[in-house]
Amino acid sequence: MSGKQAEAKAGRNLRSLFVNPVLNKEIMLRMRSLRSMWALFFYLLAIGIGALGFIYINEMDGGGGFNPNTSRTMFMFISIAQLGLIAFMAPGLTAGIVSGERERQTLNLLLTTQQSSTNIIVSKLVASLAFMVLIVLATMPVYSIVFLYGGISPSQLLLVFLFYLFTMVVLGSLGILFSTLFKRTMISVIVSYGVTLFIFGGTAFLYLIVLSIMQNTYGNGQTDYGWIGYIMGLNPVAALYSIFDSEISRSVFMVYRSGGLSGQDAPIQLWQQFLIVYSIVSIGAVLLSIRYIRPILKKKRAGR
């Protein structure tokens, strides 16, 4: 096979991965349903109420009007609130996309088509994430309030939205993995939300527990146990906050307490660790989903 033929074949494979009947069908079903419209409406309503509520509380407390510092605080408040909404919606959108096909007895029909396992998994994941991306982009007018008063740079806004996209991919890939492994959608949804709860709340709680044990054992600042900061690097909220304020990374790694190392930086920023660790997790989840979506092939290989 010549070089041009190989390039043409690679181009066709890549095009079929993102332009195929499964992706078209999933996107049309996802975008045109009445439920999607109401989901978008209530999502924007929640974000809008949060932003207006913040402004109202600030005015009632006599904050002296909006200024860049208040605008920055509002930006962080909206960003963290939106991250919580993403954590609430992403598992629900992906945890039933394979098990739902299995319960409707349409999965076997889908597997008999010419679409490969990779096409099916990637198409369903992309279709689910496309709806989430639409929802997040629809909140841009709310963020425009922040830019009226300054305090936030466009690069920070871009980083936050890229962080959202990455978090969606992580939660979506885990959701589709559990949807592939478990036959019942209910079980898949419960496990997906349980893992999401651990990622968002369990990691922070584990950090506090380990920190308390270390402080009781060695005392404050007597021994370098800053390694526990790696636990907090698994928490999405802490990773997002480190984009706004890099000092949180120095704080959780206890650079200030490590025997006069106050001038040093943290070993790694929390958001950087978050990207590295969960990139591996997402890739592994997608590969496992591709591997186990065809249980018949698995049995045949086991019987050899």
Two tokens, residue 117: 């396992």
Q: Is a pLDDT exceeding 90 seen at residue 112?
A: no
Q: Is a pLDDT exceeding 90 seen at residue 281?
A: yes
User: Residue 170's pLDDT is what?
Assistant: 94
Q: Is a pLDDT exceeding 60 seen at residue 300?
A: no
Q: Indicate the range of 2-11, 144-153, 199-208 predicted with least confidence.
A: 2-11
Give the Cα separation of 76 and 137 in Å (integer): 17
User: Residue 85's pLDDT is what?
Assistant: 85
Q: Is a pLDDT exceeding 90 seen at residue 196?
A: yes
User: Residue 95's pLDDT is what?
Assistant: 87
User: Residue 194's pLDDT is what?
Assistant: 94
Please tell me which residue, 40 or 60, carries the higher pLDDT value.
40
Smallest Cα–Cα separation from 176: which of 97, 81, 59, 70?
A: 97
Asked whether 204 and 235 are in contact (CB, 8 A), the reply is yes
User: Residue 74's pLDDT is what?
Assistant: 83
Give the Cα separation of 177 and 170 in Å (integer): 11
Average pLDDT of the residues of the chain: 81
DSSP string, 25-58: HHHHHHHHSHHHHHHHHHHHHHHHHHHHHHHHHH
Task: List alpha helices for 140-294, DSSP H.
Answer: 140-149, 154-181, 185-197, 203-218, 229-232, 236-244, 247-252, 270-292
Give the Cα separation of 300 and 304 in Å (integer): 7
User: Residue 276's pLDDT is what?
Assistant: 94
Give the Cα separation of 135 and 126 in Å (integer): 14
Q: Is a pLDDT exceeding 80 seen at residue 232?
A: yes
Q: Which helix (H) or strand (E) holds 81?
A: helix 68-94
